[in-house]
Amino acid sequence: MSVTVHVSFWTTLVFAVLERASVTDTGVEWSPDRLPALPDHSRRSRLPEFIASLVFLAALAVAVLWQQVSSVVRAADGSAVPLLDPALWSFWLPWFLGLIAAEAVFAAWLYLRDWSWAAAVVNLVLALAFAVPAVLLWSGGGCSIPTSSTPSGGIRPPRPAAAGPSPPSSPGWWSCSSPGMWWTGF
């Protein structure tokens, strides 16, 4: 915080002194003609952004799918342990994968048509469709971070799908509530 206060104070002081000293004349008369040219909004200039969006969206989708079958976390017997609770496949992971697909379609729309008010509204809706469930799952007791391992030293094995999601208080496992639990709590 001290740095922020110093930068703000000294910048303000320098500009106040310059303003009071009437050192505003630089000898060059300014006009709107001196402004830089507007950026190029052609499709050709948007192509790198479009490709980068598709690459990152594909990488995110692959990461969500990959962690379920071949995770970096291993159980004592050497089998892969998913980072996300397998019970999330009932609703939330397909929801987020669908949003990734919708973001890819949105990126194509931006590439073909550029930004508009309609595109801004769609972007807002997509962002909220991702952020609201993610924040609810993460903060409201819906998800918990693995904190401990089993007494044998291995990682706790996943619960059977029939058992439902792990309770949030269950240590050593990522767990999230089912969607029905969120809506009945409001």
CA gap 100, 115 in Å, rounded: 19
Q: Give the pLDDT band (50/70/90) at residue 37.
A: confident
C-beta separation of 172 from 150 below 8 A: yes
Q: Which amino acid is at 60?
A: L
* Structure-model confidence comparison of residues 168 and 23, the more confident one: 23
Q: CB-side exposure of 108: number of CA atoms within 13 Å?
A: 6
Three-point CA angle 54, 60, 109, nearest 5°: 30
Q: What percent of the chain has pLDDT over 70?
A: 72
Task: Name every residue whose Cβ is closer than 8 Å to that of residue 176 and which is 6 or more positions away in sequence.
Answer: 84, 85, 87, 88, 92, 137, 142, 143, 165
pTM (2 decimals)?
0.58
